[in-house]
Amino acid sequence: MQRIERHACFGGWQEVWRHESATLGCAMNVGVYLPPQAADGPCPVLYWLSGLTCTEQNFITKAGAQRYAAEHGLILVAPDTSPRGDGVPDGEGYDLGLGAGFYVNATRAPWATHYRMHDYVVDELPTLVEAHFPANAARAISGHSMGGHGALVLALRNPGRYRSVSAFAPIVAPSQVPWGRKAFTAYLGPDESAWREWDACALVANATERLPLRVDQGEADDFLREQLQPWRLQEACSAADHPLQLALHAGSDHSYYFIASLIGTHIAWHAHALRD
């Protein structure tokens, strides 16, 4: 691993590391915030998954999360949103290919070779983080939009792996909305039965661990009605008796201004779960 950025931040360090990913078959950048407490011993880790078009930079430069991570002694790990580099295929538009990995393991050509963001985030990255940084094995996961979908799906698919999960403006039912249908058709193929295992609303029905889902959604989000549809998650959770804490916020849009406004409450909530 090679450190390519290092900035003093709220008594700790915001770093960006670059490493060769065996899972993705390319070099990846990852943002790592080390709180001041990491100098004295291992800290729990909050994984953050960003949305469409993002790299590891959006969250670390716009969310203002470091202040709260320093307060609570959490390491923040913010990976890129897709594999990148020579030989990694791209798709048509901002919502397929580079910057749009959807946190699935693709099964179709030409995507299947590199687009394995589920395994990268769930397995390879924590192994790396826990080996190279003062991190313990207590993990939480959160994300925004496509990354909110990623956080919900990764937590639901991997019981016991995360102590808590939250999402900002997530795509809750990718099988039912244009962003998800386009990506899943490409990455997973046209057989929609294969999409269910990557769809939070479908996964909730059969979840073996009833980890509470915390979701915040802006009511002035331009993507709310067509792409996000949080009421679908409300229906799925209510049918499965799965705990959901969904809050709607008047006036908030889809941007990082919304995330920055609420990230402190999410980090405090994750910190509480990670302490137990």
Q: What would the two tokens of residue 125 be?
A: 């990255």
Tell me how far apart the 2 most distant CA atoms of the chain are, in Å: 51
Question: Residue 113, interface with ligand GSH (CB under 6 A)?
Answer: no
CA 228 to CA 152: how far, in whole Å?
A: 13
Q: Is the peptide bond before 36 cis (omega within 30 degrees of 0)?
A: no
Positive or negative, the CA dihedral 259, 261, 267, 270 is negative
Identity of the residue, 115 or 223, whose beta carbon is nearer to ligand GSH in the bound complex: 223
- Say which of 221, 242, 266, 270 is annotated catalytic: 221
Catalytic residue status for 254: yes
Please state, as a whole number, how many other Cβ atoms lie within 10 Å of the Cβ of residue 132.
13
Catalytic residue status for 221: yes
Catalytic residue status for 193: no
Min. distance of Cβ 80 from ligand GSH in angstroms?
A: 13
Min. distance of Cβ 24 from ligand GSH in angstroms?
A: 20
Name the nearest CA neighbour of 104 among 171, 169, 59, 44. 171
- Please count the residues of this chain forming the interface with ligand GSH, following the rule CB under 6 A: 13
247-266 binders of ligand GSH (CB under 6 A): 254-256
CA 68 to CA 82: how far, in whole Å?
A: 27
Min. distance of Cβ 124 from ligand GSH in angstroms?
A: 23
β-pair partners for 78: 31
Question: Residue 229, interface with ligand GSH (CB under 6 A)?
Answer: no
Question: Residue 145, interface with ligand GSH (CB under 6 A)?
Answer: yes
Min. distance of Cβ 219 from ligand GSH in angstroms?
A: 16
Q: What is the contact surface with ligand GSH in residues (CB under 6 A)?
A: 51-54, 58, 62, 94, 144-146, 254-256
Enumerate the active-site residues.
145, 221, 254
